[in-house]
Amino acid sequence: MKQVEIRAAVSGDISAMQEIEVEAGAVFRTVGLDSIADDDPPAAHELQAHIDTGTAWVAVRHDEHSSQVLNDPLTTEPHDKHNSQILYDPLTTEPHDEPHHDSGDTHAVPTGDTSPTGDTSPTGDVSSAGIRSSIGDTRPIAAYLIASIVDGEGHIDQVSVRPSAAGHRIGARLITHACEWATSSGLPSMTLTTFAELAWNGHYYERLGFESLTVDQLGPELAAIRANETAIGLDVLPRIAMRLPLRK
């Protein structure tokens, strides 16, 4: 997969998005988090709500008929299942946040110029303008990201990459696209919640420029997300909220 295209998700993508979430979540079994891996994927109505509001995107394999393409080196790639979740390991895997978002673990346009793997940062060197229509698009979906607005900031609810598509920086591209959406919407930053100590979660986001937030730095809506994660048993390992300032 040398090239991928980011486009808006449509209703016909929902089953594939759920399938990707299940596949990406399997990485949590490698660290003994079977309960997280067994978590259900986002419900169809939840994904449809994001599609309806234009806050769901998918990465598809490029074919010769596509006009808008994002080049992906073969040697790189980044997931956290909860919250913006992304299942991803720099260089060999993709970001994944098991939150369902968990809430959004792969993410927005950072203030830096490059990602840990050398990808352009979410601040905008890779343009996603002019993405083609998805109507009738039957190409394989490699990853997806859903976002929302929380406390007046962009928020990555979930970002997951199919394991078979890992190593191509697709997660970083989706985060870049989400950051462009946030910037164009006048939002000052991007947030997400994730596991603090997992390489493909907290440490991955740090390399993209996200910073950990203290409890005192959480807005009321983000604090409510964290409280809900605790209530439903996601805090099997330390979890944190993170923020990435966006370029204006």
pLDDT per position as a tens digit, 108-137: 333 222 222 333 344 333 333 333 334 455
Region of 80 please: left (phi>0), alpha (psi -120 to 50) or beta: beta
Q: Residue 32's domain is classified under what CATH number?
A: 3.40.630.30
Count the alpha carbons within 13 Å of 18 in the hemisphere toward its beta carbon: 14
Residue 231 scores a pLDDT above 70: yes
- Domain assignment of residue 151, given as a range: 3-245
Point out which residues pair with 56 in neighbouring strands: 146
Residues 6+ apart with CB under 8 A from 186: none
What is the C-alpha separation between 36 and 212, in angstroms, rounded?
A: 22
- How many domains is the chain partitioned into structurally? 1
| Res 127: pLDDT | 34
In whole numbers, what is the pLDDT of the chain averaged over residues? 77
Q: pLDDT digit string (tens) for 97-108?
A: 544 334 444 323
pTM of the model: 0.75
- pLDDT of residue 158 exceeding 80: yes
